[in-house]
Amino acid sequence: MKTKKPIKPYYRFNNEVLKSLDENWTRASDHAKILTVDNQKTIKGAKYGYKTLGIHFAPFTLSGQNICPWASKGCAAACLNTAGRGIFESIQKARIKKTQDFQTNRNKFLARLYREISNEIRAAEKAKIKLAFRLNLTSDLQFEKIALNHKSEQSIIHTFKDIQFYDYTKGKRRYEAYLSGADSFPKNYHLTYSRAETSKLDYLKGILKKGGNVAVAFQGIKKDEPMIKTYKGYPVIDGDINDLRFKDQRGSWIGLRSKGKAKKDKTGFAVNPKS
Ligand code: SF4
């Protein structure tokens, strides 16, 4: 008789967690999906055997509440929220609704997110592909500190401990805590610091020296032109090739070509690579 392969923990619905989510549970099919794959860079991850999914909230104060507490004027103005499908009004409205749902009924929102991630894990296992989740595609929320529900002390990132999560952040203290290995950051969560026009070069170099990575938007490098190799004495990784930031060599800039509104940036958010 054929013996059944044991199912790894978290590679199917975790009944214990689902039981505790019951009171917040509504069928995922009743709603638009929380997770999306429409970000061009996440699609590029497929070439490397990864399916990456994330959440497009309405960034900064667009929903009525600020979900990017460390945003600068420059990044808020150049935010990729309006790139790709974000140009459509219907998409913007859906992102605002999603953000408001998250703010007003968090338990229910996280219950749905839990179910969507579980479904993705099951499908990925069948398809033999790896998964990575970027919950802050257009936000800067401290997901590692948001408990899955009132009965749990763990975040959704802690709960899916075998799955890779990653984000960019502009939060200095948040990033410093991450770099110092603070307990609040689970091992399956990777963060890249994101430079703003207000960032001091010495501070950014300090991050690189400690083995952190810093994303920087460069002006004037065209889509088909190669990324510069070094900047201010540190190596540059072409961040447009894919969005798998957790694979990056430590102590590197993550060079991004200015896109959309950032091409016309005058705040200093996007820098001249020769500066
Ligand atoms: S912090 Fe990130 S998501 Fe928020 S406004 Fe700035 S660039 Fe956009």
Residue-by-residue pLDDT tens, the chain, 275 positions: 445 443 333 334 455 555 555 444 444 334 589 999 865 666 787 889 999 999 999 999 999 999 999 999 999 998 888 777 788 889 899 999 999 999 999 999 999 999 999 999 999 999 999 999 999 999 999 999 999 887 777 999 999 999 999 999 999 999 999 999 998 999 999 999 999 999 999 999 999 999 999 999 999 999 999 999 999 999 999 999 999 999 999 999 999 999 888 888 889 999 999 98
Is the CB–ligand 1 distance for residue 67 below 6 Å?
A: no
Q: What is the DSSP string of the chain?
A: -PPPPPPPTTSS--HHHHHHHGGG---GGGS--SEE---HHHHHGGGGTEEEEEE----TTTTSS-S-TT--HHHHHH-GGGSGGGGSHHHHHHHHHHHHHHHH-HHHHHHHHHHHHHHHHHHHHHHT-EEEEES-SS----GGGSBSSTT-SSBHHHHTTTSEEEEEE--HHHHHHHHTT-TTS-TTEEEEEE--TT--HHHHHHHHHTT--EEEEESS--TTSPPPSEETTEEEEETTS---GGGSPSS-EEEEE--GGGGG--SSSEE-TT-
Distance from the CA of 68 to the center of ligand 1, in angstroms? 6
pTM of the model: 0.88
**Of 63, 65, 79, 95, which is best to mutate to test ligand 1, by the most ligand atoms within 8 angstroms of its C-beta?**
79
Nearest CA to ligand 1 atom 8: 79
